[in-house]
Chain A
Amino acid sequence: MTWISKDWAMGGIIKGLIVTLKHVFRVGNRPTVTVQYPFERMKVQPRFRGLHAVDENACIGCGICETNCPNSTITIVKHNTNWYPQVNVGMCLFCGICVDVCPMNAMKMTGNYELADYNRESLIYGPDRLLFNKEVNK
């Protein structure tokens, strides 16, 4: 019986049992912390890097975001009369480099993080889905 020579009292286990019991009855600042996701959502911080948004007035279609994108996520496509970025979210790293390099501050990232979709094609966000200021402009 040498292998269990000490700790016969199982004091450590009893200590642990007390701590877990404190959690069961939520004694002393041990609250439930889970967020019931589809029903309630966590607050997204203002700096959150989610889906891109492009300012329709500011964007000059220069393509700096395209060249600086590490993963070749962005391509510049023609939309109406101007050129705007199109983002393939399926490949995006959400690194924010496109936002950093934009000379006109036209690119920004929103708090939209629910981007799952049924096929790869719909993950390509064209200017029609990325541009904001649209309604304001009219």
Chain B
Amino acid sequence: MNAAEELKALLPGSVISIGLQLNKPMAVIKKEDLVKVAGKAKDLGFDHLSVVTGIDYKDHFEVIYNFFSYSKKQNLALKVNLDHDKPEVDSLTSLWKGADWLERETFDLVGIKFIGHPNLIRILLPDGWNGHPLRKDYDMNTEQFVTIGENGDDVVSPDGTNLLRRK
């Protein structure tokens, strides 16, 4: 019995389906129950949150959490499906401190809101950037210009008026 099946047995209401992500067990879960299932997974020994991936499938978003258990040497992936209009899911920062930046990055690049995240601001792109680049509908042809403002913050403008030296 792999970890996904174990989870299914423990929380039958929350796990929608189980499957394999190639050769690693994966469970698709309800987005409302993410924290509950992840907490259960942590109790099962999955103490390492390896990565948080957000994927834009045009009609819906998927967020995939890859866990690993140092004690059992097993993998586990949890997947939640989100509506395209309202990409929101609970934050795992209460369980894993390492989720902080991973979720911020997913918010920054894919635009998924993590409810309950203490500091959900952009991390790689400057504050005020328009759009989330890893969405499939991101407009790549519009230029955005960034400078450092008076108090050290990033200033973004669409036409480059804030640049000291125009190109």
Judged by CB atoms under 8 Å, the answer to whether A and B touch is no
Question: Interface residues, chain B, CB within 8 Å of chain A?
Answer: none
